Amino acid sequence: MPGFLLHVGATVMCVHAGQAQPTVPFPRVMVSGQPVVTQPNPYVVAGCALASIPSPPCVTAQWVTGATRVLAGGQPVLLQDSQAVCTPSGGSLMVVMTQLRVRGM
């Protein structure tokens, strides 16, 4: 399914309202003046509201789906509808806001 490409300035949150940021953007491809993010690179999560008992809060997240037809540096770029799994909680990430100019598949 086509979706808008994620970039460094996109607002991404864990399902418990923690802010997620990419660890390694891809600086050679820009959308809306900011680098895109590729699938293999994890995100870090800060401010997860999940209580530490019985489950620990989200700390990192790994994307499990990305674009199938759009690559940057040989890696799939992330799309607005890409899916991620947070560790150690097992939750997911939500893309709240991203650029609205470039779509990928």
Give the CATH number, domain containing residue 84. Answer: 2.60.200
What are the pLDDT digits (tens) for 4-63? 999 999 999 999 999 999 999 999 999 999 999 999 999 999 999 887 667 789 999 999
Alpha-carbon torsion (14, 92, 23, 8), positive or negative: negative
Sign for the CA dihedral angle at 17, 90, 99, 10 comes to positive
In a domain, 82, yes or no: yes
Q: Is position 104 within any domain?
A: no
> Is residue 105 in some structural domain?
no
Would 40 be classed as within a structural domain?
Answer: yes
Indicate whether this model's pTM tops 0.85. Answer: yes
What does DSSP assign to residue 5? B
Q: Give CA–CA dist 29/22, Å, rounded.
A: 15
Q: Domain count of the chain?
A: 1
In what helix (H) or strand (E) does residue 21 lie, and over which residues does it extend?
A: strand 19-22
Domain that holds residue 95: 3-99
